[in-house]
Amino acid sequence: MTTTKKVTSGGRVGSLKVRVKTAKKRTISSTIWLQRQLNDPYVAQAKKEGLRSRAAFKLIEMDDRYGLLKPGQKILDLGAAPGGWSQVAIKKVGSKGKVVGIDLLDIDPIPGVDFTVMDFLDEDAPDRLKVMLGGLADGVMSDMAANTTGHKKTDHLKIVALAELAIHFATEVLAMGGFFVAKVLQGGTEHELLSQLKRDFKTVRHVKPEASRAGSAELYVLATGFRGRRDDPQDYER
């Protein structure tokens, strides 16, 4: 049997054992994937709590540790599908707040979340997002990930490039004191990206949430305390 961990209400873990047999029409790789899903405590807990994905627990953990989400905030969720982070955000910011989400893939509607199918790389995407926000954002979250090639260095560069684009946009729409969080890969965040973040934010850190699979190279860069734009602060009013 395969032994994994089970999430409990107090954040502790216990044991959970499930074994999957390889069916005649199922490949070994798909069997391994299915076994991992069945033995993943965060997948089970997400289903139990009605969350769209296990990724929701990554944001929940970061918010619990660093106090990112507060009532009344405006939050932008880049790469929102299937909606786990938007679910967590809208619950935290409440009816007086606002959550705007975009992705290449459509999602089932989430009450209170203004979502649209959009390619963040489209030329008109920044202007469209500014209109959707209707003012400055208190947080920009990016769980965007480029399709992997299997070549570690190439995949690392692709995901850092997305993070760089996201932070460039974040500096145009964030309110003073806002936060930015983006997915990167272990192996070193590019120097230019870290330099910009440290210049524009008071605190920059790397975070590996417990909900990130131990064998995954996934990592998040979290920047808090936005110092404000260096252009005219009157460009966007709250």
Sheet holding 218-226, edge to edge: 113-117, 98-103, 74-78, 137-142, 174-185, 218-226, 201-207
The catalytically annotated residue of 5, 130, 183, 198 is 183
Determine contact, residues 78/102, Cβ cutoff 8 Å.
yes
Burial of 100 (0-12, 13-18, 19+ CB in 10 A): buried
Q: Is residue 183 annotated as a catalytic residue, yes or no? A: yes
Query: Which residues fall within 8 angstroms of residue 214, CB to CB, at 6 or more apart?
Result: none
DSSP tag of 224: E
Burial of 221 (0-12, 13-18, 19+ CB in 10 A): buried
Name the helix (H) or strand (E) containing 86.
helix 84-93
How many CB atoms are closer than 10 A to CB 187?
A: 13
Active site residue ranges: 183
